[in-house]
């Protein structure tokens, strides 16, 4: 009984399969080939990427500096005691660390922004140490403490400004840096060439 049912299945399935193959085969030849659907996005070539918006990077970093300086100066100028003085000074110094990070972030150079934010962050930590040792350091400290405090302030300000200005040259770096995969008989890696 199994032989008959297998034979019957073959008689029914063979014509159905043959008809489907002929129909699909003729249908496929009748249409023009279309684009192949992509499961992954098309790779972006270096020529089609838009250049980084360096003007926005500069304005963003400068805005952080100006806002931090203004807020800190307002706290120091409020003449409400030593706590607002220290808070105002720390707001100013903290904005020095944030400004290059924001500027480089606008042009998608987060690592470089972190690199330029490190010196102002270190000067902010130095200022916090001075305030921990002498809470009255902003207005009523010894001359040596004032020199240390102002030195940290100036180094933080200039290193931050340099970091913001560096973000304006991101377009030049984007054109000058080339990343190439390298595969040899002994090594597999990435070659980076250009100006960093």
Q: How confident is the model at residue 20 (pLDDT cuts 50, 70, 90)?
A: low
Averaged pLDDT score across all residues of the chain: 77
Q: Kindly state whether residue 21 falls inside one of the protein's structural domains.
A: no
Residue 61 near residue 117 (C-beta atoms within 8 A): no
Residue 167 lies in a domain: yes
Query: What is the C-alpha separation between 127 and 143, in angstroms, rounded?
Result: 15
Of the pLDDT bands very low, low, confident and very high (cuts 50, 70, 90), residue 44 is low
Give CA–CA dist 98/100, Å, rounded.
Answer: 6
Greater model confidence, 28 or 81: 81
pLDDT for 104 equals 93
Q: Which domain holds residue 130?
A: 54-175
Least confident of 47-61, 73-87, 141-155, 178-192: 178-192
Query: What integer is the mean pLDDT of 185-192?
Result: 73
Q: What is the arithmetic mean of pLDDT over 45-51?
A: 60
Through-space distance between the first and last CA atoms of the chain, rounded to whole angstroms: 81
Per the structure, the count of domains in the chain is: 1
Q: Is residue 78 part of a domain?
A: yes
**Considering the domain boundaries, does residue 71 fall inside one?**
yes
Question: For 186, which DSSP code?
Answer: S
Q: Regarding predicted confidence, which is higher, 157 or 175?
A: 157
Does residue 122 belong to any structural domain of this protein?
yes
Give me the residues paired with residue 193 across strands: 178
Angle formed at CA 67 by CA 65 and CA 69, multiple of 5 degrees: 65
- 145 or 140, which is more confident: 145
Give the pLDDT score at 9: 58
- For residues 156 and 51, the model is more confident at 156
Whether 103 maps to a domain, the answer reads yes
75 or 29: whose pLDDT is higher?
A: 75
Q: Is residue 2 part of a domain?
A: no
190 beta partners: 181
Question: Confidence band (pLDDT; 50, 70, 90) for 144?
Answer: confident
Q: Taking residues 48-66, what's their average pLDDT?
A: 86
* Tokens 């105002």 -> residue: 88
Among the listed residues 162, 164, 47, the one whose alpha carbon sits nearest the alpha carbon of residue 109: 164
Interatomic CA distance for residues 35 and 32, integer angstroms: 10
User: Lowest mean pLDDT: which of 13-17, 148-152, 181-185?
Assistant: 13-17
CA distance readout (Å), 24 to 11, 12, 28, 37, 130: 21, 19, 6, 20, 82
Has residue 89 been placed in a domain? yes
pTM of the complete model: 0.61
């Amino acid at each position: 009984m199994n032989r008959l049912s297998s034979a019957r299945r073959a008689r029914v399935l063979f014509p159905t399969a043959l008809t489907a193959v002929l129909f699909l085969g003729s249908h496929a030849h009748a249409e023009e080939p279309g684009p192949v659907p992509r499961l992954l996005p098309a790779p972006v070539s270096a020529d089609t990427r838009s250049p980084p918006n360096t003007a926005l990077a500069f304005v963003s970093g400068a805005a952080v500096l100006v806002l931090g300086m203004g807020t800190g100066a307002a706290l120091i100028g409020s003449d409400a005691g030593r706590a607002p003085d220290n808070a105002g000074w720390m707001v100013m110094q903290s904005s020095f660390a944030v400004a290059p990070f924001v500027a480089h972030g606008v042009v998608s150079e987060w690592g470089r922004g972190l690199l330029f934010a490190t010196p102002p962050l270190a000067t902010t930590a130095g200022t916090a140490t001075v305030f921990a040792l002498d809470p009255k350091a902003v207005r009523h400290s010894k001359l040596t403490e004032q020199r240390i405090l102002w030195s940290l302030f100036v180094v933080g300000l200039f290193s931050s400004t340099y970091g913001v200005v560096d973000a304006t040259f991101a377009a030049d770096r984007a054109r000058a840096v080339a990343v190439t995969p390298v595969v040899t008989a002994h090594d597999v890696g990435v070659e980076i060439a250009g100006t960093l």
